[in-house]
Structure 1
Amino acid sequence: MFKKIGPGVLVAAAFVGPGTITMCTLAGAQFGYALIWALLVSIIATMVLQAMAGRIGLVTQSGLVDVVRTELSTPWFKNLVIIIVLGAILIGNAAYEAGNIGGATLGLEQLVPRQQLRPFLPATIGIVIFLLLWFSSYKILEKIFMGLVGIMGVSFVICAVITQPSMIGILKGMFVPKLPENGLLTLVALVGTTVVPYNLFLHASLVKEKWNSTKDLKAVNRDTIISIGLGGLVSMAILITASAAPISEINNALDMAKALEPLFGKMAFLFMAIGLLAAGITSAITAPLAAAYVASSCFGWEGGMQNKKFKMVWAIVLLCGVVFLSFDIKPIEVIQFAQVANGILLPVMASLLLWVVNKKSVMGNNTNSLLQNVVGIAIVVFAIFLGTKSIFKVIGLF
């Protein structure tokens, strides 16, 4: 079974990062089980979009940007799409990398007793990630991620079980949708942390690293469903745990752990710290990797992960994260730009994805079915709504 699991694990690890943990904590602490349905919808949407991206990567043996660049015939529109994608992914991932490394640092700080060592932890984590990316092949990264996701998953699920949640309440929150008062922006953010645009590029590029025949389509779909399903289970476990924690103020993902300690003891705090460390490291690896794959596709670089320009891109993204965190730089304007760019990017990429996956000239007999198109169109409409809300939130209209 483990030999058949592949890129889906990296995608799951990418969306369950410190940002997702913080948002699930916020949703659970403020609204209890009421927004579990939103997580369920976003997990299904992620499965559908990632399955399409994986299928494109398998059939074409190319990255998503390569296919889009080939299929778009209007020069100005093609260049506009490439600029939006490149800007959103490179600048966005560089800005969010600080949050990923920060999350890993928060988790590690709870496991390192000596206070004098703590200022060096962000740089230490950055060096470890650099060495992993520089010397590892895709197969090695895959094994590392399976271990980290396993640790993360077990940690958060144990935390949820410790809180003795109400199964009736969970099922009601999952299958009886309702929007609590003042819950709209939390819902938008919750979905936005799960349906991540850069994962579409990452998935298509990684699928061709593992599989090279359309005979493997079932394996790709199985890998996507199982891996993202497990990632979704972790997100739900975090939300369920947070609903039991008496949290008055939330600044980061560790606030839930601090609130749990008096109620459930040091073990809950320890599992939360370990889970946060694993989540931070996995996201801190996938964000630079996705940025490098996008740049590689946009500029047509050969050689995959061993290309020097490819390595230079992920190294710059990683360095930005370490610098922002180590010098306490708060790149608010950059992050706001990234939110706007990603708000535009998600509906654009979801639409392009749906267009490409229905082209016989590209996909042959592996185009979408009617049901897949209906679900895909619904996701595109929702992505436009989500993108609009994200932009309005940043510019202060809502």
Structure 2
Amino acid sequence: MSKSLEEVNQSVQTQNKTSIFRKILAFFGPAYLVSVGYMDPGNWATDIAGGSQFGYSLLWVLLMSNMMALLLQSLSARLGIVTQRDLAQASRETYSKPINYILYFLAEIAIAACDLAEVLGMAIGINLLFDIPLIEGVLITVLDTFLLLFLINKGIRKMEAFIIVLVAIIGFSFVFEMIFAQPELDKVVYGLIPSIPTETALYIAIGIIGATVMPHNLYLHSSLVQTRKFDRTPDGIKQALKYNFIDSTIALNLAFFVNAAILILAAATFYKNGYFEVAEIQDAHQFLQPLLGTKWAPILFAVALIASGQSSTITGTLAGQIVMEGYLNFRMQPWVRRIITRLIAIVPAVVVILIYGESVTGKLLILSQVILSLQLGFAIIPLIHFVSDKTKMKGFHISKITQVAAWIIATIIVSLNAKLVFNEIVGWLETSENPIVLWLTVVPLAFGFLILLLYIVFKPFITKAKQEFQNHSPHNLNLQFSKIGTYNTKKIAIAVDFSSADTIAINSAFELGGIEAKYTLIHVVETVGAMVYGKNIEDHETLIDAKLLAEYKAILSHKGFTVKTKLGYGKPNKVIPEIINKGNFDVLVMGTHGHTGFKDLIFGTTVDKLRHKISIPLFIVKN
């Protein structure tokens, strides 16, 4: 199994620290890279719109979104720390190839949408600060491709330090903005009490929530926590979970401060002075100096915007690398990956700006958030399933209370984002000159995503129910033994699949070899994870199969037979011959029932392939 972000995996030593403070400091960092996604330019538009239209009254939405984000990010960190897999890798070993390809495609679209928002944010910041045309600002953002390569070569700690500096710039900028704006503190506190003034406020609230929790951050966090090297003991894992939760709490609260500061700034300047329709970032920048009476207000605003776009674009690229390597097990040169991701974001931005002008950047930002909304459920729901799995999490699964809280949050986020997407599609249908095209493309696509989402939600519950009801397969280990025949053969391999066919296959083998022969029971694990990771897989079915194989051995050994076991991984018609040819067996005995790979024995498919790959007799036993 390849490691997530292999060039920096376990590169930060957390052991042998002389003090608790140094140990805590060694774990700090990953959450700050994640936090920049919660204050990227895509959030600025919704925060400004919320503050200018409704004053301080939507502050509670930001607080609620932050609490949701904290829980989800802590689940993502838990997955990476305990399983040493990121979210994309965990998905690859859980779902089938077609499902994984779709999930990968959706994740890539989400990352491209994020990058689009970051490109526009940086370009707008450059435009506002240096008066460079927006189109040229977009093209300048290509240059930061090489900044990531420089930082990653210096090590993850250097990259974390750079991001923390950018976050600090954003934070200090808004501290001064708060001093300039002088918000009314009593109204700020009152804004933390839940209320929805109008239906438009609900729409803005949905936008704020949709822009807060970013799907790529869930992939990113589950990988970045693996950059820390610590004791893989239960106590060591508990300590890593605790310190990373502290790290996430501090970093995401800083992100909450920035988002709240943007909304408060809009409320204290635009809403207070009757500018209720300020939604574009450029308009907000333009009005700051006359309303606050200082030239530093717009300058700091632009500087913070550039820092926001730059920090977000670095973490977005890392997320792209994680998603590609995790889902496809395919690695691309970082600079190639970076340029491709950036071009995917730049090309539509340049085309739209050239055709419609600079006034549509706000609409492009909103569109990027809608695209993110579509993908969000496909990251959150698998994450909750994975961290709730006792086998996958090796005893570090989340509690029932946490599961309930996580599912409530997932339901709220997915429902609100679904409403946002539904409203957008209805709007497109109403304003389109040729709606039939949308009915034939966008609408079926949306329904397809809905079906896929329902499949991801319910499949683990159905699979688990079947496993509990059937005890993995119709086996009770009630093997019946027939009369032992004459000894003819020395080393006999028996393919077993824990079905009713095993009794006949094993008895037939005993008739061939008798009590003096040596028997090897072979079983092949055929899960998707087994095919990808081989003997490194630790999924539920592998653990059950290994246990059952051991129980078969115990039963037969108790009867006086000399028995060994061999567990293979992958496709039976490939793995069984490899085991047979290495084991110097005299005969292979196989049954005709069992898991998917064995069922085709009835039709001769596996038999035909095995005949050409092994040099010993193959004894087929029909049930």
Give the TM-score normalised by the residue count of structure 1.
0.88
**Consecutive aligned runs of 4 or more in structure 1 exceeding 4 Å deviation:** 329-341
1:152 aligns with 2:176: no
Counterpart check, 1:200 vs 2:218: yes
The structure whose residues are more often strand, as a share, is 2
Check whether the contact 1:33–1:170 (CA below 8 A) recurs between aligned residues: yes
Q: Which amino acid aligns with 2:418?
A: T
Query: What's the CA shift string for 1:146-193, capped at 9, x where partnerless?
Result: 000110111123212321112211111113433434212111110011
User: Are residue 134 (structure 1) and residue 149 (structure 2) matched?
Assistant: yes
SS in structure 1 of the partner of residue 269 of structure 2:
coil
Partner residue, 1:55: 78
Instruction: Describe the SS at the equivalent of 2:322.
Output: helix
Q: CA deviation at 1:14?
A: 1.4
Deviation at 1:269, TM superposition (A): 1.1
CA apart distance, 1:352? 1.5
Give the letter for the 1:122 counterpart. Answer: V
Q: Given the superposition, is the C-alpha separation of residues 271 and 2 from structure 1 closer, same or farther in structure 2, using an over 3 Å criterion?
A: farther
Match of 1:172 in 2: 190
Query: 2 CA distance for matches of 1:95 and 1:353?
Result: 21
Alignment-derived partner of residue 269 in structure 2: 245
Answer with 184-193 or 284-293: which moved more.
284-293
Question: Over residues 202-251 of structure 1, what are the superposed CA-to-partner deviations in whole Å (9 max), with x where a residue is unaligned?
Answer: 11111112345413111111111110111011000000000022335435
* Within-5 A mapping of 1:83-94: 83-94=101-112
Query: What is the letter of the counterpart of residue 317 of structure 1?
Result: T
1:227-283 deviations in Å (ceiling 9; x for gaps): 011101100000000002233543532322221211221111111111111111112
- Find the partner of 2:420 among 378, 381, 390: 390
1:330-375 Cα offsets, whole Å, 9 max, x none, are: 7999999966664343223222211111111111221112331221
Amino acid at match of 1:79: P
Distance 2:413 2:218 in 1: 14
Which of 157, 162, 166 is the equivalent residue of 2:180?
Answer: 162
Q: For residues 103-151 of structure 1, give each alpha carbon's deviation from its aligned partner in whole angstroms, at most 9, with x where no partner exists.
A: 11222233326x5x87543333321x21122222232221110000110
Residue correspondence of structure 1 range 268-283 to structure 2 within 5 A: 268-283=297-312
Q: How far did residue 42 of structure 1 move?
A: 0.5
Gaps of 5+ in 2: 1-23, 429-623
Match status 1:263 vs 2:281: no
Aligned counterparts, 1:1-398, within 5 A: 3-72=26-95, 75=96, 79-80=98-99, 82-112=100-130, 120-127=136-143, 129-137=144-152, 138-212=156-230, 213=232, 214=237, 215-246=239-270, 247=275, 249-250=277-278, 252-264=280-292, 265-301=294-330, 307-327=331-351, 328=353, 342-396=372-426
Larger radius of gyration: 2
Higher helix residue share: 1
Whole-angstrom distance in 1 between the partners of 2:69 and 2:229: 21
What is the alpha-carbon root mean square deviation over aligned residues?
2.7
Provide the rounded CA distance (Å) in 1 between the counterparts of 2:163 and 2:389.
Answer: 33
Q: 1:151 to 1:335 in 2, by over 3 A?
A: closer
Q: Do 1:8 and 1:227's aligned partners in 2 also have CA atoms closer than 8 Å?
A: yes
CA distance in 2, matches of 1:91, 1:396: 22
In structure 2, relative to structure 1, the CA distance for the partners of 1:397 and 1:318 (3 Å cut) is closer
Q: Where does residue 553 of structure 2 map in the other structure?
A: none
Which protein has greater RCO, CA pairs closer than 8 Å, 6+ apart? 1
Identity %: 28
- In the alignment, the residues of structure 1 paired with residue 56 and residue 229 of structure 2 have an alpha-carbon distance, to the nearest angstrom, of 39
Q: Letter of the aligned partner of 1:130 in structure 2? A: T
Calculate the TM-score normalised by the size of structure 2.
0.58
Is residue 24–residue 239 contact of structure 1 (8 Å, CA) maintained in 2?
yes
Does 179-188 or 228-237 show the bigger shift?
Answer: 179-188
- Stretches of structure 1 that go unaligned for 5 or more consecutive residues are 302-306
Is contact 2:184-2:268 (8 Å) kept? no
Distance 1:93 1:363 in 2: 27
Native 8 Å contact 2:113 2:371 kept in 1:
no
The answer to whether the Cα contact below 8 Å between 2:76 and 2:218 also exists between their aligned partners in 1 is: yes
Question: Relative to 1, partners in 2 of residues 1:70 and 1:329: Cα closer, same or farther, differing over 3 Å?
Answer: farther
Which shows bigger deviation, 331-340 or 44-53? 331-340
For 1:103 and 1:342, locate their aligned partners in 2 and report how far apart those are by CA, in whole Å.
16
**Distance in 2 (alpha carbons) for counterparts of 1:186 and 1:142:** 32
Q: Which amino acid counterpart does residue 124 of structure 1 have in structure 2?
A: I
> Is the 8 Å Cα contact of residues 87 and 341 (structure 1) preserved in structure 2?
no
> Taking structure 1 as reference, are residues 21 and 344 closer, same or farther at Cα in structure 2, changes over 3 Å only?
closer
Matched-pair contact (CA < 8 Å) for 2:35–2:255: yes
Task: State the Cα deviation string for residues 315-340 of structure 1 (Å, max 9, x = none).
Answer: 21112223334453679999999666
Change (3 A) 1:237 1:102: same
Letter in 2 for 1:197: P
CA–CA separation in structure 2 for the residues paired with 1:263 and 1:341: 34
Tell me the distance in 2 between the aligned counterparts of 1:110 and 1:146.
24
Q: Which amino acid aligns with 1:297?
A: G
How many residues are paired up? 385
Query: Aligned with 1:368: secondary structure?
Result: coil
Tell me if the contact between 1:86 and 1:294 (Cα under 8 Å) persists in the aligned partners. yes
The separation in 2 between residues aligned to 1:241 and 1:340, in whole angstroms, is: 25
Alpha-carbon distance, 1:84 to partner: 3.7
